[in-house]
Amino acid sequence: MNRFPLLGCALALAIGSAVAQDRPSPSAIPPPPPAPPAPLADAHRTQVTGTVARFLVNPNGDVDGVLLDDHTQVGMPPTMGAALAGKLHRGDRLTARGFRVGDLPLLQADSITAGGTELTDTPPAAPPAPPAAPALQPMEAHGLVQQPLYGPRGDVAGVLLDEGSILRVPPPAAVRAGALMQPHARIAVKGFGVNTPYGRSIQVTALGTTPGSEQPVAAPPQPGPMAPRPPTPPQPGVALGGAPAPTPPVPTP
């Protein structure tokens, strides 16, 4: 749903800059959990009804979901979110239909009814034009985690802070920093993102527990010694040292 390839250049620059700086003590981030959780496969079709507490925005500036007043996360494609944002406001009631993953507070919606209007996730007749690159800005945030945010498959893909920022974290990094993804955990991040009328969203490139302790969520490949080249097999008529090989004697009759 998120068009994160648009962030590639910005993230590469941010990660390279972070790696070049002195890293703080590894103790700044709690140790990772012993093993990543198994992917959830028990998705089932259902519906939820609730009151919109806030919109969810990805770092491209797209509305890609809402949070209900019972903390249920309703995810949707950005095309559907754009249509919904023009018709829905905080405090409005909606009914969302789609797939729920296990018992997580997450519904991936393909149909939403609000104010007597139903919106459905309908593929466009023709591929849409490539979107313009968002005006990403370097951003920092810190605070207490209000609740985790999930990707469509049920993996933790970020958090919502108590001060309102939406943090998007690549799922592998979210697994490694599992303790920081839990409610009431203290977290500090750096990254790139946008401010929109629907909220502030940051694609995280470095995280820690307090400002100044952030570490990159991923490191680029480090240069190392090149593997030795295999020896070139000798060519006919050339000795290994590069000099012409001696010509074998011709037997005399």
Residue among 29, 2, 67, 36 at smallest CA distance from 187: 29
Looking at the domain assignment, is residue 229 inside a domain? no
Looking at the domain assignment, is residue 161 inside a domain? yes
Counted domains in the chain: 1
Looking at the domain assignment, is residue 203 inside a domain? yes
Helix (H) or strand (E) holding 63: strand 63-68
pLDDT along the chain (253 residues), means of 10: 46 45 45 44 86 95 95 93 89 95 92 90 67 78 96 93 95 90 96 94 96 84 49 49 52 56
The tens digit of pLDDT for each residue in 215-251 reads: 999 754 445 454 445 555 555 544 444 445 555 555 5
Q: What's the token pair of residue 154?
A: 């049920």
Looking at the domain assignment, is residue 55 inside a domain? yes
Looking at the domain assignment, is residue 212 inside a domain? yes
Cross-strand pairs, 143: 187
Domain that holds residue 83: 4-16+45-116+133-216
The tens digit of pLDDT for each residue in 168-198 reads: 998 889 999 989 999 999 999 999 999 999 9
Looking at the domain assignment, is residue 86 inside a domain? yes
pLDDT of residue 171: 85
pLDDT of residue 93: 95
